[in-house]
Structure 1
Amino acid sequence: LTLLIVSHLFFFVLELVNHASNPPMCLESAGIRDAFKYINITVSLVVFLVGIVGNVALLKVIYANKCMRTGPNYLIASLALGDLIHIVIDIPINAYRLMAEDWPFGLVVCKLTPFIQKTSVGVTVLSLCALSVDRYRAVVSWNQIKGIWVSVWTAMKITLIWVISILLAVPEAVGFDMITMNYKEKHLRICLLHPVQTTQYMQFYKSVKDWWLFGFYFCMPLVWTAVFSTLMTRKMLKNAQNALSEHVKQRREVAKTVFCLVAVFAICWLPLYLSRILKSTLYDEKDSNRCRMLSAFLVLDYFGINMASLNSCINPIALFLVSRRFKKGFKVHFYFYLRYIPIILSSVIRLKQQGCHPHRSVDELWYVIRTYGDMSATWPDCSM
């Protein structure tokens, strides 16, 4: 999945390895590369900015409000943290690499980038599965854990999710490598899943990778959520007499939130997985029309990468739209900053003009934030 922007170079490498039995190498460039390059950079910039603001706000909303510190919300926070790590580390590297074509970051970053991305996707997938089970347990009253043990059990689940995600991402770090080659009179360093793996396990992993990723990272969370959502719906219908209670309404809202997150995940990741499966099943390196087919797959890859990247920033937006509690939390969070940024900026200017000591300035800034609610307030001076 990682670094699909060099998928056409990957097939070029395969032809170099198997040149004895294959037709002449495919040297035809994909005509959409320059156009899609700028589209990807634009999308990456939007995802980077919206993703950082949205996921940081989501984490702060959960942390700052005691009523939001629940088991499901901690899982959502774990999901947001995984997206945030991917946004901060992977997206800038991939955007720079797309513009530069050559890989300038070395072997360590080459292995670390797909590892982080696969860990992030694993955290997303397993968190969605855990949320589905958690909502079902809440409806059927499985969960008899009370008090402090609720937090302990949630911490154990989140830890297990991250450990499993990290372990499943290890083959990406092992298999990815740098290849130096001459391509159309250019000396390029390429970071990709090496076409020739040295161990039997990695050879097997490379041969089944596309189907493994499609099955575990895409189909499994959808099937898992469908099963538990169906069971949960049946249980709720049996208890229709309690449909108007506030407690049941809250459970339905959380269930709707989980369903929305899964739907967003499916929409964002389907094009990329579909592209990979079609490429795995239809591409024939001995076909004389493989260059034309590769260009078509490259279009799907670019579109799939853009859609998959959106998943890292769209969850906070989805939560804002479907959850009353999250909507209220986001409004309070952004209202605070939109209201106090002008006050803080004016305070900085006023304190600088008065020549306050830096430590005193910080104290005065906090005093302003706590005390004053509008720009017409009377400002304290340094003598206070």
Structure 2
Amino acid sequence: MGLWPDPEEANFLLSLSPNELLALDQFYNARNGHDPFGVHVAEVQSGAVPSPEVLQVDKSHLHAIHKFLLDMNYTDEVDLSSPVLRKVFRPGYTLSTVLILYFVLSLFGVLGNLVMVSSILKKKRYKCNTLACILNISLGFWFQLIVVIPLSVFVLLVHNWVLGKFVCYLLPMVQDIPHYSLMLTILLLSVDRYKSICGDEQSRIPIVWALVTAWGVAIVLVLPYSAYITYIDLSVLGESLLGGQMCFVSLTGSASQYIKALFIL
């Protein structure tokens, strides 16, 4: 046996079954050429062979898996298929305070935008380009308040991922679609006001089609996100991790170029 590099890591590794230890060793020793944990599982259980599913997991993700379980203080009693609160939110008063603050902010946001939208629709002033843009901005805020914020708060509070593979890839895109749409709407509003001030009424923007296009462009801009999102089913590492999932963003060199391009746009 090699030396344990860290007592906390040692406790985590000692809590794993021989097959799970073998899976970790297989990644680092057989596929990466070395074993940073100092664990040689062949000495623990000779003749055991990790499953083909284990070998399909990218070796670069193993350290993230290890840190994820370590930060959660994982034990066999933890049900990874159910939400596990982050340590900082486990005191009841902390969780209650965060939920109340987000609820109050969301409620005021929804009601405020509801008043604005109802006023525009009641007076049938949505044919005005400026008010049509304001109406679209309110709809974007509604989307953020009703869909994005609840999902984002849930992910913030819970340490493990329990929303499945589809939501893993979808959520980062859903979070940013309204941002891009709102920015494009403000751009359209600025261009339209400029034309109005210049007295160029004939070449005013067809606002309905322009706003629909803004949402379409926003969707197109977030589609590349899926290339930088990683979803891992932890059950391939052992039965004790059954139901466990991980979802995280992997920013590579090409991702940095993509982010710079979005920033410039």
Q: Which amino acid aligns with 2:172?
A: P
Q: What per-residue deviation string (whole Å, max 9, x for no partner) do you get for residues 144-200 of structure 1? A: 25xxxx7x8111211111111110011124432323569xxx95523222357xxxx
1:59, 1:77 within 8 Å by CA — same for their partners in 2?
A: yes
Q: Which amino acid aligns with 1:207?
A: S
Pairing 1:53–2:90 present: no
Pairing 1:190–2:246 present: yes
Q: What per-residue deviation string (whole Å, max 9, x for no partner) do you get for residues 86-111 of structure 1? A: 22222212222333322211111122
Distance 1:33 1:210, change over 3 A: farther
**Relative contact order (C-alpha < 8 Å, sep 6+): which is higher?**
1
Gaps of 5+ in 1: 1-14, 197-202, 217-384
Q: What per-residue deviation string (whole Å, max 9, x for no partner) do you get for residues 48-88 of structure 1? A: 21222222332222111134541011111112212212222
Cα distance in 2 between the residues matched to 1:141 and 1:70:
16
Instruction: Give the aligned partner of residue 25 of structure 2.
Output: none
CA RMSD between the two structures:
3.6
Per-residue deviation, 1:40: 4.5
Q: Which amino acid aligns with 1:160?
A: T
Q: Which amino acid aligns with 1:99?
A: L
Gaps of 5+ in 2: 1-35, 37-58, 73-85
Distance 1:191 1:28, change over 3 A: closer
Instruction: Give the aligned partner of residue 166 of structure 2.
Output: 108
2:161, 2:247 within 8 Å by CA — same for their partners in 1?
A: yes
Cα distance in 1 between the residues matched to 2:101 and 2:246:
23
Cα distance in 1 between the residues matched to 2:165 and 2:233:
12
Query: Paired residue for 2:155, among 91, 97, 102?
Result: 97
Count of residues in Structure 1 that have an aligned counterpart in Structure 2: 183
Q: TM-score, normalized by length of structure 1?
A: 0.41
Query: Paired residue for 2:223, among 166, 170, 173?
Result: 170
1:126, 1:161 within 8 Å by CA — same for their partners in 2?
A: yes
Q: What per-residue deviation string (whole Å, max 9, x for no partner) do you get for residues 208-261 of structure 1? A: 344344433xxxxxxxxxxxxxxxxxxxxxxxxxxxxxxxxxxxxxxxxxxxxx
1:179, 1:189 within 8 Å by CA — same for their partners in 2?
A: yes
Per-residue deviation, 1:128: 0.9
1:62, 1:69 within 8 Å by CA — same for their partners in 2?
A: no
1:89, 1:113 within 8 Å by CA — same for their partners in 2?
A: no
1:63, 1:69 within 8 Å by CA — same for their partners in 2?
A: no
Distance 1:193 1:56, change over 3 A: same
Instruction: Give the aligned partner of residue 159 of structure 1.
Output: 212
Q: Which amino acid aligns with 1:17?
A: S
Distance 1:18 1:90, change over 3 A: closer
| 1:3-152 to 2 correspondences below 5 Å | 17=60, 33-34=88-89, 40-67=98-125, 69-145=127-203
Per-residue deviation, 1:46: 2.5
2:133, 2:211 within 8 Å by CA — same for their partners in 1?
A: yes
Cα distance in 1 between the residues matched to 2:95 and 2:231:
22
Cα distance in 2 between the residues matched to 1:95 and 1:19:
27
Q: Which amino acid aligns with 1:189?
A: Q
Percent identity, aligned pairs only?
Answer: 21
Q: Which amino acid aligns with 2:148?
A: D
SS in 1 for 2:176: helix
Cα distance in 1 between the residues matched to 2:219 and 2:62:
36
SS in 2 for 1:56: helix
Distance 1:195 1:133, change over 3 A: closer
SS in 2 for 1:138: helix
SS in 2 for 1:66: coil
Distance 1:214 1:52, change over 3 A: same
Q: TM-score, normalized by length of structure 2?
A: 0.57
